[in-house]
Amino acid sequence: MRASCVAVWYESPRTRCGHARFTHNPLFSMDGIARSLSEVSARSGTHRFSVAIGVFDGIHRGHRQVIETLCAAARENGSAPLVVTFSPHPREVLAPDRAPQLLTTPAQQRRILQEMGCADVVFLPFSRELAALTPREFLTRHICCPGIEVALVCVGSDWRFGRGGSGTSGALAALGREFGFEVAPVRELTFYGRPVSSTRIREAVSAGRLAFAARLLGRPYSIEGVVARGRGQGGQTFSCPTANIADSRILLPPHGVYAARAVLDARHCLTLPGIVYVGTAPTVVTDAPPLVELHLFDFDENLYGRRVEVQFEAFLRPDRVFPSSAALRDQIARDVEEARNRLSLVTN
């Protein structure tokens, strides 16, 4: 069977790794995603929650400790475990020139957190007005809402909230005694003497240290989106159909070829081996935006409109210009063979 190919396009390149930032993106559609605790309560019929609050970009091993603590506490106190996070990322609003490339989309965050046992995820719309709230105002407006009973709030011990970061875990505990909820601060997780953090994972991914990033994440680094139609050049030149996802703000690894796995549709319904190219296709086009091309082995189905998560497993080679399309086609065949071998070794 022929391999299927998905091309994921990233417009307006900013660096050699294909990073770009956008204000509107269908990949980050908030359809079906709650924006308040009251919305979750109305939708689920539940009014008693244990809540974890934080940014949770990447949902790395440190975040997982918070979620595991949350879910264990919720089982004990008979509440529904709920995550409250923010969209856009707070630094996109407060320091746009230093806003990070994201490790996960909201849809991806929600799926992973629900797979870990959370009832749902609330994405509070982050703004300068929200950032200016005092810790008390933040709790009364967004957490301890009318008709909502909060049994427990779980946070990282170093997490800050409210105006100027004045809300420490100690301040949260004092407010908890006043409002009637328990507080469970979770100590940060360290790895090789440094905290596990989203910043550290971004550094690893940008440097192509995907194995190290996977150790910090507790899973392979991945990007996710819904497949849409692209410009079709792959099918014309290499007999490989293409599709695309535009306007992504997700962090890409350095340009090159990677062994990968693809998860089709939500909740890991189908996982397939494949190979991923990240780059600008300099052999066939000039001055093109970065793209991600995914070839799935032994797969011949239409992927348009389906959600695909691309998991980067191993780096194979850097991107380069080939003397001809025929030379590139020959190299692709070698890349596919190597990717099959590498993925077989990972599996075994």
Mean pLDDT check: name the lowest of 17-21, 176-180, 225-229, 335-339. Answer: 17-21
Please check whether residues 33 and 180 belong to one and the same domain.
yes
The strand pair at 182-186 and 190-191 is best described as unpaired
Q: What is the pLDDT of residue 30?
A: 55
Q: Quick check: is 280 in a domain?
A: yes
Please check whether residues 148 and 245 belong to one and the same domain.
no
pLDDT band for position 268 (50/70/90)? low
The pLDDT tens digits of the residues spanning 11-45 come to 333 333 333 222 334 334 456 789 999 999 999 99
203 vs 289: CA distance, rounded Å? 22
Please check whether residues 226 and 342 belong to one and the same domain.
yes
Q: Are 119 and 81 in contact (CB under 8 A)?
A: yes
* Nearby residues of 116 by Cβ (< 8 Å), 6 or more positions away: 59, 64, 67, 68, 71
Assign residue 295 the CATH number of its domain. Answer: 2.40.30.30
115 or 284, greater pLDDT: 115
Q: What is the pLDDT of residue 122?
A: 97
Domain boundary among 191, 206, 236: 191
For residue 42, give both structure tokens. Answer: 């109305």
251 or 348, greater pLDDT: 251
Q: Which residues pair with 83 in a beta bridge?
A: 52, 121
Name residue 270's amino acid.
Answer: L
Q: Quick check: is 204 in a domain?
A: no
- Total domains present in the chain: 2
308 or 131, greater pLDDT: 131
Please check whether residues 334 and 186 belong to one and the same domain.
no
pLDDT band for position 307 (50/70/90)? confident
Name residue 241's amino acid.
Answer: P
Mean pLDDT check: name the lowest of 129-133, 194-198, 278-282. Answer: 278-282
What is the average pLDDT score of the chain? 84
Q: What is the pLDDT of residue 22?
A: 27
Q: What is the pLDDT of residue 248?
A: 58
Phi/psi at 176 (5° precision): -65, -40
Q: What is the pLDDT of residue 31?
A: 61
Please check whether residues 14 and 56 belong to one and the same domain.
no
Which structural domain range is residue 88 located in?
A: 26-191
Assign residue 153 the CATH number of its domain. Answer: 3.40.50.620
